[in-house]
Chain A
Amino acid sequence: EPEVTQTPSHQVTQMGQEVILRCVPISNHLYFYWYRQILGQKVEFLVSFYNNEISEKSEIFDDQFSVERPDGSNFTLKIRSTKLEDSAMYFCASSVGPGEMRGYTFGSGTRLTVV
């Protein structure tokens, strides 16, 4: 079964440093997403991306965050200057396309620890 692949699985970074989290969505999917889950809390939406631009973002997704699809397969989340409160699991997801939600699939996540 097709999977959403995320790397790295764990990332430890110093406060103030930049991090890039990487994702390879399912190949025929057109919508891409990042979600965040702080330990023990619910999964929170960050951003959705379609047709090479952000289609929706939450209030969490402020100026320190950016997303990019640098080539035909990767989808990245950059956090420019990490803060302690950015420590969380970050999940990438992808879905098929307009009118079809059934293929909404999550990756296994990247655990980001900011020290």
Chain B
Amino acid sequence: GENVEQHPSTLSVQEGDSAVIKCTYSDSASNYFPWYKQELGKGPQLIIDIRSNVGEKKDQRIAVTLNKTAKHFSLHITETQPEDSAVYFCAASAQAGTALIFGKGTTLSVSS
């Protein structure tokens, strides 16, 4: 089955800096790659996603890149703000209706 590895497990940046979180996946059949932000005591909230027919997607300060050949995808947050502090999870899925397989999460701390 699918296995998703995520690095780093913790990331501390200064406000205004960029943050990059990287994930790799094992199943070449996976074609949907969402990123979730989880704040304390809440459920995962989708922040951006990408499908396998796209190499890069951007939404304001957040961007995701996908390299299908290498089976890795990354989250980029620019101009970080203290409110970006949270746990971020990457995930992968083969098709609609099937399980999302999550990475272990990255705790991002943005200090002002």
Q: Which residues of A contact B (CB under 8 A)?
A: 4, 31, 33, 35, 41-45, 48, 50, 55-56, 58, 91, 95-102, 104-109
State how many angstroms separate the Cβ of B107 from the closest Cβ of chain A. 10
Cross-chain contact of B44 among A31, A91, A102 (Cβ < 8 A): A91
**Distance of A81 Cα from B13 Cα, bound (Å):** 45
Q: Would you give the shortest CB distance from A8 to chain B, in whole angstroms?
A: 14
Bound Cα distance from A69 to B81, whole angstroms: 41
Is A106 within 8 A of B44, CB to CB?
A: yes
Contact in complex: B96, A95 (CB < 8 Å): yes
User: B46 contacts which chain A residues (CB < 8 A)?
Assistant: 104-105
Tell me if A100 and B96 are in contact (CB < 8 A): yes
| Known contacts A42-B105, A58-B99; 15 further A-B pairs (Cβ under 8 A) | A42-B102, A42-B104, A43-B89, A45-B101, A95-B97, A97-B97, A104-B34, A104-B46, A104-B100, A105-B46, A106-B36, A106-B43, A106-B44, A108-B41, A109-B43
Q: Is the CB of B99 within 8 A of A33?
A: yes
Q: When the two chains form their complex, are residues B96 and A42 in contact, meaning their CB atoms are under 8 A apart?
A: no
Interchain CB contact under 8 A, A107 and B43: yes
| Selected A-B contacts with CB under 8 Å, 18 pairs | A33-B99, A43-B100, A45-B99, A45-B100, A45-B101, A45-B102, A48-B98, A50-B97, A55-B98, A91-B44, A99-B96, A100-B96, A101-B96, A102-B49, A106-B45, A107-B43, A108-B42, A109-B43
- A107–B104 Cα distance when bound, in Å, is 19
